[in-house]
Amino acid sequence: MVAPSDIFWLVTSAYNWCCSSPVDQAQNSTVASTSAATIAAQTCQQLQQSLGAPLVQTSSSGPDYSLGANGAWSTFNTEVNFQPTCIVFASNAEDVQTAMKTIYENEADYAVQAGGHSGMTGWNTIQDGVLISFMNMNTSSYDPDRDTITMEPGVRWGEVITAMEPLGVAPVGGRISEVGTGLLLGGGLSFLSAAEGYASDNYVSLDVVLVDGTLVTATADNEYADLFKALKGGANRFGIYPNSSSEALLGAIAHFVHDTNDTNAGEVFMVTVIMTPWPSMEPSISVLLVYNGTEASFNESFAEFLSIPYTSSSPSPLSFLELSNAVHFPAGMGTLFSASSLAGVPANSAVSVDDYLELYRQYNNFSSMFASSPDVGFTLLDFSPVLQSQIRAGYEKGGNPINPPLGTPGYVIVLFQVTYREGVTKTAEDVEEGREVWMENAPRTPGLPLFLSEADAKQQVFASYGEYEFLKQVYAKYDPTSFNIRHTEGPSGLEVPLATVCESFSIFNYSLHLPLCF
């Protein structure tokens, strides 16, 4: 049984949904003249007085500071590069309210960290500011009467699935066990998305702490319905394919996302990994095919993939918990993402898959260019499907800002990942120039959204959304002074002119910098 997500302690900031009330311009100019470090130090002193030293720790005052400062998945976001002035280890919503109210009143810079699984440097940590950590808010529970799962923002999907499996239910959540709940704010892809839509399409209600410290509950039909919508941004077979099968596999996934109508075909997870030094090692192409049904139906839905030569295969029935633990991404290394989206291509037609082949060629060019790099550990190219049934499910559940127009055929989300070697704590200029070239030249289908959780900070993800104008309107309503944008890192594209005046609250995003900034 699939259970929707109920109350979620949302504190905006990981992917910036903000909001604030108009502030006095004279006060703004006075605050601006004070350094961020000084403001942060003052704010941390006030928080220690109001919340106590055990909950608010500095590098010299608490035993958990280093644990919190190093809680991010990417090395680029850990203590070697970012030292928060203090870390608030929130234990409940009231702690978060107090922290945000103090941050707001002092105009302090801040960041929020839930699972910390972000490829964007500086989006889930802070220098000269306050970090709110949800590591101690990590519980989940199931209400059988309402058939809903309630999660706190610090829990990871593997923990939720483990807790729910004995109860016979599963969340529409992340595909990788180590990923946290911030995935929801970027939409979130699930093994169940073909039938249920994005993970965030399955919200029931959201408890949100606004930037001024106000706690509100947003649902699909209350006064915060616009905020609720805006915050939405089994058999298994695992096969290893030789690089010579790459063209056939790219064609298979292009045909699958366009043609399939089987909502039980939950996932095609195609990943190419090139380790360095290269070309001493052949690229490894792994394809994870997930089906919620019989083996015969599995073979029918994935027939094109199964006809392609592979070097090894391990078909087996898995529980949802086993499936969530089937794929892992290594931690402890600096990692950066870039994104693209490609439309599906009908099989047995004259339409070519040239864009898929060109994107793969550019990936190989990048990897060969840095084959002997002392900095790069490995590169990865991943194709994840968004089926037409997933788009339709999102509309049926109230809509989300991400989806293209109803009726759009299925498409693939593309992740280009560069992971640096262990011990490398700074990006290399030549590698970053190479990533820029890939982002500028990689094929991308106009009109299809990028996936925020797997994009580069410089990519204009919001502008690619089907309901970009809706997002801008909601942002302007809830944060007319752009408080969140001015005080925490995150995606761009929702800035509001300071002259805008309107009555509103303020949101402060949470966990993995997601698409939330009004």
Phi, psi of 424 (to 5 degrees): -80, 120
Cα 349 to Cα 372: distance, rounded to the nearest angstrom: 41
Token pair for residue 15?
A: 């992917």
**pLDDT of amino acid 156:** 84
Q: What percent of the chain has pLDDT over 90?
A: 35
Question: Are 488 and 506 a contacting pair, CB within 8 Å?
Answer: no
Backbone torsion region of residue 25, taken as left when φ is above 0, otherwise alpha when ψ lies between -120 and 50, otherwise beta: alpha
Q: What are phi and psi of 385, to 5 degrees?
A: -80, 145
Question: What integer pLDDT is reported at residue 54 of this predicted model?
Answer: 92
Do the Cβ atoms of 196 and 478 come closer than 8 Å?
no
pLDDT score of 460: 93
Q: How far apart are CA 62 and CA 108, in angstroms?
A: 21
**What is d(CA 28, CA 37) in angstroms, rounded to the nearest whole number?**
16
CA–chain centroid gap for 484, Å, is 18
**Within a 10 A sphere around the Cβ of 344, how many other Cβ atoms?**
26
Distance CA 49, CA 31 (A): 22
**% helix, strand, coil for the chain, step of 5:** 35, 20, 45
Our CA angle for 165, 166, 172, nearest 5°, is 25
Distant-in-sequence, close-in-space partners of 362: CB < 8 Å, separation ≥ 6: 438, 441, 442
Tokens matching residue 213:
């410290």
The residues with which 415 forms a beta bridge, in sequence order, are 339, 382
Give pLDDT, residue 340: 97
pLDDT at 504: 32
Q: Exposed (0-12), middle (13-18) or buried (19+): which is 261, by Cβ within 10 Å?
A: exposed
Q: What is the pTM of this model?
A: 0.78
CA 131 – CA 439 distance, rounded (Å): 30
Q: What is the token pair recorded at 243? A: 């690089």
Distance CA 212, CA 98 (A): 9
Are 4 and 228 contacting, i.e. CB atoms less than 8 angstroms apart? no
Within 10 Å of residue 122's Cβ, how many Cβ atoms? 19
Side-chain half-sphere of 334: how many Cα atoms within 13 Å?
20
Residues of the chain with pLDDT under 70: 1-34, 71-75, 77-80, 115-123, 233-242, 266-283, 327-330, 496-518
